[in-house]
Amino acid sequence: MVEPELPKRPSFQPTSIRLAAIVPIIAVGTLGFFLAIEIIFGGSTPTQPKAPLSAFGPTRDLQATYASVDPINAPPKDIQRSVFLPAACVGTKVIPTGGDATRPSLANEFVCSSSTGFLQAFYRAQLRHSGWKVFSQGMTNHDGGGTAYLAQKAGSDGFYWQLGVVVGRTSYSSNGGGVPTQSTKVTIRLFQSSSS
């Protein structure tokens, strides 16, 4: 008599250490990949703008000027703190920009009791000192004419910001005797750039 064949019991095979090591190797490799990307392309914390140059006397930044602007349209604080005016400048008006509604654009006019030469020297020194990359300077007919400075800087919001400063010609007025008073118009335009 032939005995019936018994079902085969599954045999125990030990798990290969090589196969078991694949999962942690993939996990460590993925973590290393993302860590390398963060090191190479990751942003750094924004640096605080430099203080104004003291050689030109008291100055102020544009943070108070933009305090009432809608935060969506206002430049980031690090950009606001890196555009300076001599303290003797007074804001006279906000200029409509008619710019692209998808990119913030602001323009303000100031009147300063300093001369054209002083203000030109101030902006030549101050823009570079504050980290702006000046890419153009020269005479312009824009904003009433004068000397224009065009510069660019990366903001903490991830966008580049372009700055246009026009220093007008100094005008003199007499107050009825004595030394005439001088005034110079300065126009500052700031807008978000689409590219570097």
What single-letter DSSP state applies at residue 55? Answer: G
Nearest to 106 by CA among 83, 89, 132, 133: 83
Residues contacting residue 163 through CB under 8 Å, at least 6 positions apart: 83, 127, 132, 149, 150, 151, 152, 153, 188, 189, 190
pLDDT per position as a tens digit, 155-191: 888 889 999 999 999 888 877 777 788 899 999 999 8
**pLDDT given at position 107:** 86
| Mean of pLDDT over the chain | 82
The total number of residues shown for the chain amounts to 196
Structural tokens at position 191: 């807008």
Question: Given this model, what pLDDT does residue 163 score?
Answer: 93
Q: To 5 degrees, how large is the angle CA 108–CA 188–CA 132?
A: 145
Q: Give the model confidence (pLDDT) of 19-62 as tens digits.
A: 777 888 888 899 888 888 888 877 666 566 666 677 788 888 88
pTM for the whole structure: 0.68
Question: What pLDDT shows up at residue 64?
Answer: 85
Residue 188 CA to its chain's centroid (Å): 15
The pLDDT of residue 111 is: 93
Q: Bigger pLDDT: 61 or 7?
A: 61
What tokens were used for 179?
Answer: 């030394």
- Write the DSSP symbol of residue 69: S
Q: Which long-range contacts (CB under 8 A, 24 or more apart) does 175-182 make?
A: 181/113, 182/113, 182/114, 182/115
Q: Is 61 within 8 Å of 80 (Cβ atoms)?
A: yes
3-state SS, one letter per residue, for 141-176: CHHHCEEEEEEEEECCCCCEEEEEEEECCCEEECCC
CATH class in words for 54-193: alpha beta
Q: Determine the pLDDT at residue 119.
A: 94
Instruction: List C-alpha distances in Å: 187 to 19, 45, 178.
Output: 69, 31, 29
